[in-house]
């Protein structure tokens, strides 16, 4: 057992991911796809479901405690305005570039040309989406306890920020409450460490079931689209995130990658940015040196509204649809696709395949009929999980990039931790006085 724990957690997680791919593929060939998927769903996948449940269990307490303690650590509510503006500006900027890259890759690969949609079962989807006013009003919880129980991330963020400001305004009388939330955040992060020891087993279970249930034949029928999506996401990560970290922030990219490997691996295997949030916060604070005052606010917000992978994916799917059904698009159509994909991706649910059901809104910009939308969704849905895993990994990487940038600009980044990571990425040596220093 000692040898097991001596291996860095990210190495164990990535190893489990690779073994899961091999195991699921071999079992699918030996038993047949449906039989292998059923067997794995009965005996193996529950381990993955347990892992997801464990990390989802931590989302609400982690957001509440870290955000409240983060606001208290700032010491000045006015800094929240500066942090908020920079955060939103960066999230919107990266989403804009994601849209452009998605359209470029859709035009370059032309994944929809020659695709046979005859065997696809139509899946009806709704083109309705809440209005901007409805989304804004939903941020204010009518009942904070109900918001906590329902896991309404934006409402929890709103309440936590107000609670933190209230603690600051209370002065000395509120210090005890602020200290309580700071120590509670420390405890929840320790629990996150415990839960993450289950990660290799959960990742193996989830990935092996995904590979067995999807099947190589299904992947082959849509290989060009998958390749376009993966290469587009990789291009966005390297050019936009990597370029920003290296040339704008002046920080080494490889340190960032090493520090976030745990979160990226968990995001890829679970395909849920919300479920990955506890790991993302732990990686950013402990491996990158992002102070809790930034990580506790920027990262939960990013898990809710920063969906670069979704925006890029919707752009490629829109061009895939146009090419498959023979629509001739104009420059104005491309602009509308990019704009609409950016808008609907904001606030998309951080759960598997949620973005696929937003496709109807984007396709409506150039007159795709509901019947054709249903056919496209039915064609994509069986293998969407494979692409959703990569989209989620990109989203989590983008969240961490923005958090690092805001922390550096606000003087809340410990560059000693960032530039000199510990040997074990997930459990580096954290200075014992960081929490106390944050409160001063």
Residue identified by tokens 């809440």 is 130
Residue identified by tokens 């080494």 is 252
Phi, psi at 290, each rounded to 5°: -75, 120
Cβ(395)–Cβ(275) below 8 Å? no
Residue 351 is given by DSSP the state S
Q: Model pTM?
A: 0.82
- Say how far apart CA 131 and CA 136 lie, in whole Å: 9
Digitized pLDDT (tens) for each residue of the chain, 440 residues in all: 677 877 878 788 888 988 988 999 899 888 887 888 899 999 998 998 998 888 889 888 988 898 888 888 877 777 788 888 899 899 989 998 998 999 999 999 999 887 777 655 556 655 455 565 766 777 899 999 998 998 887 788 889 989 999 999 998 889 999 999 989 988 988 898 888 889 899 889 988 888 888 766 656 668 899 999 999 999 999 999 999 999 999 999 999 999 999 899 889 988 888 889 999 999 999 999 999 889 988 998 888 788 899 899 999 999 999 998 889 999 989 998 888 888 777 655 555 555 666 788 888 889 888 888 888 888 887 788 889 899 999 999 999 999 999 999 999 999 999 998 654 444 444 443 333 333 33
2-439 maps to which CATH number? 1.10.3860.10
The count of other CB atoms within 10 Å of the CB of residue 343 is 16
Q: 17 Cβ partners below 8 Å, 6+ apart?
A: 203, 204, 207, 265, 268, 269
Residue 290 is given by DSSP the state B
Tell me how far CA of residue 344 lies from CA of 131, 226, 259, 387, 409, in angstroms.
10, 22, 30, 18, 29
- Say how far apart CA 72 and CA 175 lie, in whole Å: 9
- Say how far apart CA 73 and CA 116 lie, in whole Å: 57
Tell me how far CA of residue 139 lies from CA of 52, 53, 157, 161, in angstroms.
25, 25, 8, 12
SS3 76: coil
Largest CA distance in the chain: 70
DSSP letters spanning 122-168: P---------HHHHHHHTS-S-HHHHHHHT-HHHHHHHHHHHHHHHH
């Amino acid at each position: 057992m000692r040898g097991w724990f001596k291996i860095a957690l990210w190495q164990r997680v990535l190893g489990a991911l690779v073994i899961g791919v091999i195991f699921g593929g071999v079992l699918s060939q030996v038993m047949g796809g449906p039989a292998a998927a059923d067997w794995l769903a009965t005996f193996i996948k529950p381990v993955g479901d347990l892992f997801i449940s464990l990390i989802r269990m931590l989302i609400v307490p982690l957001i509440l405690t870290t955000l409240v303690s983060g606001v208290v650590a700032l010491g000045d509510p006015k800094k929240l305005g500066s942090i908020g503006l920079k955060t939103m500006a960066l999230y919107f900027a990266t989403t804009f570039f994601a849209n452009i890259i998605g359209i470029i890759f859709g035009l370059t690969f032309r994944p929809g040309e020659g695709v046979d949609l005859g065997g696809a079962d139509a899946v009806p989807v709704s083109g309705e989406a809440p209005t901007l006013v409805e989304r804004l009003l939903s941020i204010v919880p009518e009942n904070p306890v109900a918001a906590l129980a329902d896991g309404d991330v934006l409402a929890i963020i709103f309440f936590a920020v107000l609670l933190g400001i209230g603690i600051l305004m209370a002065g000395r009388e509120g210090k005890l409450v602020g200290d309580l939330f700071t120590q509670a955040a420390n405890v929840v992060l320790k629990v996150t460490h415990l839960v993450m020891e289950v990660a290799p087993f959960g990742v193996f279970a989830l990935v092996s079931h995904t590979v067995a249930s999807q099947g190589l034949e299904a992947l082959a029928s849509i290989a060009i689209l998958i390749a376009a999506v993966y290469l587009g996401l990789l291009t966005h990560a390297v050019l936009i995130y990597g370029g920003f970290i290296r040339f704008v922030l002046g920080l080494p990219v490889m340190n960032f990658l090493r520090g976030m490997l745990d979160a990226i691996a968990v995001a890829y295997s679970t395909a849920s940015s919300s479920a990955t949030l506890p790991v993302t916060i732990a990686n950013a604070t402990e491996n990158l040196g992002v102070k809790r005052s930034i990580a506790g606010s920027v990262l939960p917000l990013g898990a809710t509204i920063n969906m670069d992978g979704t925006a890029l994916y919707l752009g490629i799917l829109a061009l895939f649809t146009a090419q498959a059904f023979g629509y001739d698009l104009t420059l104005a159509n491309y602009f509308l696709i990019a704009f609409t994909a950016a808008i609907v991706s904001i606030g998309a649910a951080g759960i598997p395949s949620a973005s696929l059901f937003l496709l109807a809104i984007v396709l409506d910009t150039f007159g795709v009929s509901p019947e054709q939308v249903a056919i496209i969704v039915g064609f994509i849905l069986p293998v969407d999980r494979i692409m959703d895993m990569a989209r989620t990994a990109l989203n989590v990487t983008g969240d961490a990039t923005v958090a690092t940038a805001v922390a550096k600009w606000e003087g809340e980044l410990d560059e000693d931790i960032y530039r000199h990571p510990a040997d074990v990425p997930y459990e580096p040596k954290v200075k014992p006085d960081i929490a106390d220093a944050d409160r001063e």
